[in-house]
Structure 1
Amino acid sequence: MKILVIEDDCTTRDFVAKGLQEHGYSVDQAEDGKKGLMMALSCEYQLVILDRMLPYLDGMKVLSAIKATETQTPVLILSALDSVEDRVDGLQAGSDDYLIKPFALAELLARVDIIIRRTHRTATAENVLIYDCLKLDLRAHRVLCHNQELALQPKEFQLIQYFIEHAEQVVSRMRLFEAIWSYHFDPKTNVIDVHVANLRRKLEDAGCNELLHTVRGAGYVLRR
C-alpha cells in the first residue's frame, strides 16, 4: 500500500512518513502543493495525506484536482486550521477525513487504516472479501482457497479476515493481539505463532502457497 504525504513542514512530514513506514506502508513525500499534485496524478496511491496551507498551490485546490480524476484517490486532510467551518469546508470539498494539528500518531494511523480498509477492500459482493486465490464470505463464515473450503478454527478465521483486509501490509504481533485477542499488551506467549503456523499449513495444503509470510522482527504479511 502506497501513501503520498503532501506537507511543507519537514518535521511533520518526516514524522508522519516514519510512522506510516513503521506501520507497514510505502510512503512518498512532497513539500509543496504543485509537486504534490503532480505526484498524485502521475502515480497510483491508496491514500493522500494533505496539508491545507501549502506553498505554490493551496491544499484545497490540490484536493479538488485529485477528486476530479477518475481514480478518486481518498484524501485525509491534516491541518492546523481547526474551526468547525474549516473542517466542514474540507469535508464538503471531498476529503475523506480531517485531522487537526497537533495530533497523536496513533490516531492518525487508526484513521489511515479505516480509510484504506473502507475504500480499498476488494469485494465482488457485499460481505465477500477476495485476495488472490482466497475468497472469504463473512455472512456464511466460509473461506475458500481455489474454491476449496478451509476448515478453520474461529481465531484462524479472524486472522485470515484481518490479513485480507490489510493485504500487503506488514502486521505486527501487537496489532494482532489487539485486533483478534483484545489484548492491549503483549502477554508473552506463542499463541499467535501457533495460530499463524496452523493457518499457513491449511492454506498450503489447499494450494495457496507462499501467501502468508513472516517478516522477522516485524510481524506477518499477506502478499503474493
Structure 2
Amino acid sequence: MKILVIEDSVRLADTIAEALQNENYVVDTANDGQLGYEHASTGIYDMVILDLMLPKMNGYEVLSALRRDGQNVPVLILSAKTEIDDKIQGFTTGADDYMTKPFEIRELLMRIQAISRRSHHQDTSHPVVGNLSYDPATCEICNTQTKKSVQVSGKERQLLEFFMNNCNQVLEKNQITTKIWGFDSNAEYNNVEVYVSFLRRKFHHLQVNVTLRAIRGVGYIMEVSDD
C-alpha cells in the first residue's frame, strides 16, 4: 500500500513516514500543498494523509482540487484545527476521515487500516478487458471464454491492475516506475520491461485477446486486439 503524507512540518512528516514504513507501507512526503497536489494527482497512491494549514495551497484546496479532477483516493485529514466547523468542511470537501493533533501513532495506524478495509470492501469487482478478467481476491487472471487461468503476484499484480485501470491509455515508463516502485525508488526502466514481459507470457499462455503494446521511447498501452 502506497501512502502520501502532505505535511509542512518536515520533522512530523518524517516521523509519520518512518512509523508507516515500519508497518511495511510505502511512503512519500510533500511539505507544501502545491507539491502535495502534484504528487497526489499522479494517481499512484492508495491513500493520502493531509494537513490543512499548508503553504502554497491549503489542505481544503488540495482536497477540493483532487475531487474536482476525479481523484477518488481515500484522504485522511490530520490537522491541529479542532473546531466542528473545520471537520464539517473537511468531510463535505471529500475527506474520508479526520484526526486532530496531537495524536497517537497507534490510532493513526488504526484509522488507516479502517479506511483501507472500507475501500477494499467497496471495490469487489473483477476487472475485465477483452476476454481477460482479473480476480483481486485470488490474484488470478482468466480467459473468460476458455476459463483457463493463472496466478499473478507481487509486481506483476500491481502492474496488471495499473494497466487494466488505464486500458487504451499510454502509460509512460517513468509513470509506471513511480506507480509500482515509488518516487524514491532506485528501480531502473528495464524493470518495467522485465515485468511487462512476464505479463505478456501469461497472456500468451492464456491465449487472451489483450496485448501490451510498446510505444517506442515512451511506454506501453494495453489494448484489445482485433484478431
Counterpart code for 2:92: Q
1:170-201 alpha-carbon deviations (Å, 9 max, x no partner):
xxxxxxxxxxxxxxxxxxxxxxxxxxxxxxxx
The yes-or-no answer on 1:124 pairing with 2:131 is no
- 2: CA distance between counterparts of 1:118 and 1:78? 19
Question: 1:1-224 residue pairs with structure 2 within 5 A?
Answer: 1-121=1-121, 122-124=123-125, 130-133=137-140
CA distance in 1, matches of 2:102, 2:53: 15
* RMSD (Å) for aligned C-alpha atoms: 2.3
SS of residue in 2 equivalent to 1:131: coil
Shift of 1:18: 0.7
Offset, 1:129: 6.9
2:46–2:74 CA contact under 8 A, matched in 1: yes
Offset, 1:73: 0.8
Q: Distance in 1 between matches of 2:70 and 2:138?
A: 23
Structure 2 counterpart SS, 1:72: coil
Secondary structure class of the residue paired with 1:65: helix
TM-score, normalised by the number of residues in structure 2: 0.55
Extract structure 1 runs of 4+ deviating beyond 4 A. Answer: none
Instruction: Quote the Cα distance in structure 1 between the aligned partners of 2:71 and 2:88.
Output: 23
Contact 1:46-1:120 within 8 A present in 2 as well: no
Structure 1 residues 16 and 111: CA distance shift in structure 2, 3 A: same
Consecutive unaligned residues in structure 2, runs of 5 or more: 127-134, 142-148, 151-156, 159-227
SS of structure 1 residue aligned to 2:94:
coil
Deviations 1:34-92 (A, max 9, x none): 00000111241000000000011111000001112333111000000001111111111
Distance 1:131 1:87 in 2: 38
- After superposition, the C-alpha distances for 1:118-169 in whole angstroms (9 at most, x for unaligned) are 11355239xx9713039xxxxxxxxxxx79xxxxxxxxxxxxxxxxxxx99x
Name the CA distance, whole Å, in 2 between partners of 1:118 and 1:109.
Answer: 14
Given that 2:43 and 2:71 are in contact with CA atoms closer than 8 Å, whether structure 1 keeps it comes out as no
Letter in structure 2 aligned against 1:57: M
CA distance, structure 1, for counterparts of residue 34 and residue 125 of structure 2: 37
The AA in structure 1 aligned to 2:64 is S
C-alpha separation between the residues in 1 aligned to 2:78 and 2:26? 19
Q: What is the TM-score when the length of structure 1 is the normalising length?
A: 0.56
Contact 2:2 2:26 survives alignment (8 Å): yes
Q: Separation in 2 of the partners of 1:82 and 1:68? A: 25
Q: What is the identity percentage for the equivalent residue pairs of Structure 1 and Structure 2?
A: 42
Unaligned runs of 5+ in 1: 135-145, 148-166, 169-224
Instruction: Give the whole-Å Cα distance in 2 for the aligned partners of 1:90 and 1:98.
Output: 7
Q: Secondary structure at the match of 1:66?
A: helix
